[in-house]
Amino acid sequence: MVDPTTVDVLLRTARSHSVWLDRPVTDAQLREIWDIAKMGPTSANCSPARVVFLRSQKDKQRLRPALSSTNVDKTMSAPATAIVAYDTQFYELLPRLFPRNVDMRSIFANNPELAAVNAFRNGTLQGAYFLLATRAIGLDVGAMSGFDNAKVDAEFFPDGRVKSNFLCNVGYGDPAKVMQKLPRLDFEEACRLL
């Protein structure tokens, strides 16, 4: 069991950030985030998540046309922006990632609908691991859905194999400009005990 302070850092008192301090995020930090996030479980160890990190203004300008107006400033000022995506043909790597069942690749390769559902679901799951890993190493996040997926995919994944899921700004959030945590649903509103 982890201590309550760790749970606070990861979830209870953590905030989504949109204003960033002028502190760089290093290659080593981005690698550490991935090295933690990749360890979370996925179905048949399919590991469909793919991440593109944008740090330069030149690369962020490529993203800019896809952003909703409310996400432009926060993205342009963030030390790094991650395009959290998923590989629609993740099953090509299953012989290496899931060697205990050599038929697993063909199960997905022969069922495009099953592959699509699993790519999105498990890629999203890995995206959540990515958020927690980022917070675990002392950085802040600002995950976003306000963007045009088709524009992002055309610009960064033109072969169509990889699809964007969500964007996440990464860096050191300005604690003086963080918003108050918004309400959440109580157990009785969101859960049932059967």
Domain membership flag for residue 9 = no
Would you call 59 helix, strand, or coil by DSSP? helix
Q: Given its phi and psi angles, is residue 44 left (phi above 0), alpha (psi -120 to 50 degrees) or beta?
A: left
The domain spanning residue 54 has which CATH number? 3.40.109.10
* Half-sphere exposure at residue 25, Cβ-oriented, CA atoms within 13 angstroms: 29
Residue found under tokens 């108050």:
180
In this prediction, residues 45-64 reach a mean pLDDT of 98
Domain membership flag for residue 10 = no
Domain membership flag for residue 36 = yes
Range of the domain at 67: 15-173
Number of domain units in the chain: 1
CA–CA gap between residue 155 and residue 190 (Å, rounded): 38
Domain membership flag for residue 109 = yes
Q: Which amino acid is at 22?
A: D
Position 56 pLDDT exceeds 90: yes
Domain membership flag for residue 123 = yes
CA–CA gap between residue 163 and residue 156 (Å, rounded): 9
Q: What is the pTM of this model?
A: 0.96
Domain membership flag for residue 184 = no
Domain membership flag for residue 186 = no
pLDDT tens string 7-49: 999 999 999 999 999 999 999 999 999 999 999 999 999 999 9
pLDDT tens string 86-108: 999 999 999 999 999 989 999 99
pLDDT of residue 102: 84
Domain membership flag for residue 104 = yes
CA–CA gap between residue 122 and residue 100 (Å, rounded): 19
Report residue 184 as tokens. Answer: 């959440």
Q: How many helices (H) and strands (E) does the chain have?
A: 9, 4
